[in-house]
Structure 1
Amino acid sequence: MKFLIAAALLAPAVVLAAPVGAQANDLATVQRYLKAITTMTADFSQTDRNGQVLTGTLTWKQPGNIRFQYQKGVPTLIVAEGGALTFIDYSVKQVQRWPIRNSPLGVLLDPGRDLSQFAKVVPGDPRLVSVEARDPKHPEYGRITLVLARDAAAPAGMTLQGWVALDSQNNRTTVRLSNQRYGVPVASNAFRWVDPRPTTRR
């Protein structure tokens, strides 16, 4: 995953490696950014390993809540709430759940975790900060590279541009964000979902 990920999200100028001290400062700034988020909404574009592109709307509320509402006609939904990440496929009436901490998205949804223990800055375009995170004790959780742009108007002077997640089978998913809005009202029921299985509803 290296800096090519950032290049895919925002075309770089000259690629320069930041000094180690600057990288440590950038990692600390990303930590402050994650802690500073209360709510965020954005449009997203998701590209899977086969090149299929889906779009939709992201709703994010710290700590631990996120919703990927896909475009009309896509019968899937991804929601994180209550410490679990849930994938709902309405076309086949299936639900899969696993702990958020076991997912690459855990780095976004648990701002209290110390990034310095499991993440590093990937050198690259000085306009961007790319942070690769993975749990060395659990490679099966996969890894994620967050790409943030320096933005004085955003929390902690950065704004999340997207990420690339790589699972344990090396399946890559790229998410690009646009129209990011911070501190917007989010309804209390925004992370609820309807269970498509016959006997239960949520």
Structure 2
Amino acid sequence: MVINLAFLKRGIRRGGAVLVVCALSASLACASSLDTLERFLKATQSGRADFTQVVTPPAKSGQTVRGKTSTGTFAFVRPSRFRFDYQKPFPMVIVADGQTLWLYDADLEQVTARKQAQTLASTPAALVATAADLGALQKDFTLTAEPDAESLQWVLATPKARDSALQSVRIGLRLDGGYAALAKLDILDALGQRSVLSFERFEVNPSSLGHAAFNFVPPKGVDVVRP
């Protein structure tokens, strides 16, 4: 979602102006991706999926760049709860419980806790797990419809804040059984690092997913850091 970008970079290290001009003949297709994103935000009050994350550092002259892959599960309940459970290659948990954003690095035996309200506004998590509608997103992002590709509908989100840690986020959506399901997040950070999260077996509004799934209690014996 896997979202505080600095936290995602931690997992990555462990293992974890675009202008679209639509011709008149393609105008309906270009508008539809924003409509689909609006449908996703309004109709999907909760969700659960498996994810694969591939992180690729900026290319350097004369060097072959290889991405690093992580896998795990993702879940959210609007408007303020989500979690990423990284399983491979290293276990890590990122949980937003409505008040606090927790990062638990099992190998380091360390938990980092930050105030959620001060952390999430201009992050990929706001795009898919916390915003209620397009109007809420447009406070922090410029949203642009992009042409369909990879059998998905795409929206480009560009942060409005000049000091954002992100350059852009591309949101890939799939229409499935009348619902709009999240399929991909293509994140480019301010340093040129790319992180692509692909979601599979996306469940829309699962009845078994409640607020209790987002409770987090630091394990005994770990260091708890509150920056």
Give the shorter-chain TM-score range: 0.7 to 0.9
- Paired residues of 1:122 and 1:129 also in contact (CA < 8 A): yes
- Ranges in structure 1 where 5+ consecutive residues have no aligned partner: 1-15
Residues 51-90 of structure 1: pairs in structure 2 closer than 5 A: 51-71=67-87, 74-82=90-98, 85-90=101-106
Aligned to 2:119: 99
Classify 1:83/1:106 alpha carbon distance in 2 versus 1 (closer, same or farther; 3 Å). Answer: farther
Distance in 2 separating the partners of 1:28 and 1:199: 42
Measured at CA, do residues 137 and 51 of structure 1 come closer, stay the same or move farther in structure 2, by a change above 3 Å? Answer: same
Q: 1:139 to 1:123 in 2, by over 3 A?
A: farther
Q: 1:25 to 1:88 in 2, by over 3 A?
A: same
Residue 144 (1) aligns with residue 169 (2): yes
Residues 48 and 96 (structure 1), Cα distance of their counterparts in 2 relative to 1, 3 Å cut: farther
TM-score, scaled relative to structure 2: 0.69
The correspondence of residues 1-202 of structure 1 with structure 2, limited to 5 A, is 19-49=26-56, 50-71=66-87, 74-82=90-98, 85-92=101-108, 93-95=110-112, 97=114, 99-108=119-128, 109-114=130-135, 115=137, 118-125=142-149, 127-142=151-166, 143-151=168-176, 153-155=177-179, 158-184=180-206, 185-195=208-218, 197-198=222-223
Change beyond 3 A, Cα 1:48–1:64: same
* C-alpha separation in 2, matches of 1:159 and 1:150: 6
1:84 and 1:99 in contact (8 A); partners too = no
Looking at structure 1, the residues matched to 32 and 84 of structure 2 have their Cα atoms a distance apart, in angstroms, of 31
| TM-score between the two structures when normalised by the length of structure 1 | 0.76
How many equivalent residue pairs?
Answer: 182
SS of match in other structure, 1:63: coil
What's the counterpart of residue 63 of structure 2? none
- 2:93 alignment partner, SS class: strand
Name the Cα RMSD after superposition.
2.8
Q: Where does structure 2 lack aligned partners over 5 or more consecutive residues? A: 1-21, 57-65
Structure 2 CA distance for partners of 1:147 and 1:199, relative to 1, 3 Å: closer
* More displaced stretch, 19-28 vs 42-51: 19-28
In the TM superposition, what whole-angstrom CA distance separates every residue of 1:123-165 from its partner, at most 9, and x where no partner exists?
23384211111222335241211111232x142xx22111111
